[in-house]
Amino acid sequence: MSEDTPRKDAFIEMVTAKASVELRLSDYHPRSMLVVPEHGARRPRFPVIDYHNHLDAQDPRSVLRVMDECGVELIVNITMRVGREALDMIFKYQMAAPGRFATYGWMDWSDLQSPGFFRRTVDRFEDLVAHGACGLKLWKDLGTSISDAQGKLLPVDDERLAPLFEKAAELGVPIMFHTSDPDAFFLPIDPENERYEELAAHPEWSFHGSHFSKQELLAQRDRVFARHPKTTFVAAHVAERPENLEYVGHLLETYPNVFVDIGARCAELGRQPYTARKFFLKYSDRILFGTDLVPESEMYRLHFRFLESDDQYFEYPSHASRQGRWNIYGLFLPDEVLRRVYRDNASRILKRPL
């Protein structure tokens, strides 16, 4: 061998070897070989209020069976019905088991194009609350697709909605905002997107290429929090920014009238257990337990495992298309934190006895 022909080195060969693999991503289901302790909590350590769920399609009796089995004291049903149907939904759950369900109203945009809409909206909200609604939810269509009579996109902080938020303060019920979506939904659906499979299953969830940015949408929402300090707001899904808990912490410190729920965000929180645990300890009086998933025993148990145990690397509770290819770690929250997050914070907002 001449001097300038590099010699093959067994170690360098080993560490540089690569293969181009052909395997359909949807056929790839690796199973973890880790042998680590497992604490599958069957019931929560304290009674639970699920502050974020959607029960319109459920039979109250089967939901109650799951609740009793899993130690869930109450579920807040965020109805997606409006008008007469919303009132019927409130009634249906009140009748099924008084004290075990509460209902949030859903913003009715159907007559936005007709004059007097903003006034009617306040009246409708008052009517919902008079019939027992415990809050009103504004969804991500506000700011992204709802247009006024002039065809102009309605920003989340449109001044014409101010009387609605003031009415909430007067009635003593919160407004819940689901504004925007995960960061990855604003990026191209490409091999670098960490939620590729989820977006492939729901391409309509992608906001990539929109003329509005996530940052701008959240800024609009946060301006509403600032303008209505007497109104209680729930920023759903960890304020839609669980990817950046520093931002959420800052939000909670800036606006004492804001709570966050953890609905459908165990995946995000559980993949950053050190940061998430500190966040829960620091803001334990501002975080609401919520699931945003079909009530099933296994789904609740995964939540309890996530919040209570120090289990490592297990599947997060999720809808069928999953949220990303990772697993989560338990937060082993102390009792006083669990009590607040599971129940006491929600009880305060719902004006139930602690």
Binding-site ranges for Zn ion (CB under 5 A): 292
In the complex, the smallest distance separating the C-beta of residue 178 from Zn ion, rounded to whole angstroms, is: 6
CA distance 231 to 63: 31
3-class SS at 259? Answer: strand
The residue (of 292 and 308) whose beta carbon lies closer to Zn ion is 292
Nearer to Zn ion, 41 or 260 (CB): 260
Specify the 3-state DSSP secondary structure of 39: coil
- Rounded to a whole number of angstroms, the minimum distance from the CB of residue 237 to Zn ion is 8
Please state the closest distance from residue 15 (CB atom) to Zn ion, in A. 47
CB of 78 to Zn ion, least distance (A): 6
Alpha helices in the chain (DSSP H): 10-16, 60-70, 83-96, 117-130, 162-171, 196-201, 214-227, 236-239, 245-254, 266-270, 273-282, 297-308, 335-339, 345-350
CA distance 255 to 165: 15
Nearest 5°: CA angle at 13, between 7 and 17?
A: 145
CB of 288 to Zn ion, least distance (A): 13
Residue nearest to Zn ion (CB): 292
Rounded least distance, CB 80 to Zn ion, Å: 9
Q: Which is nearer to Zn ion, 254 or 321 (CB)?
A: 321
Task: Give the pair of three-digit tokens for residue 135.
Answer: 């809050």
* CA 258 and chain centroid, separation: 15
Nearer to Zn ion, 41 or 136 (CB): 136
Nearer to Zn ion, 53 or 232 (CB): 53
Residue 283 and residue 325: Cα distance in Å, rounded? 28
> Which CB sits closer to Zn ion, 218 or 337?
218
| 3-class DSSP state of 27 | helix
- The secondary element (H helix, E strand) that includes residue 49 is strand 48-53
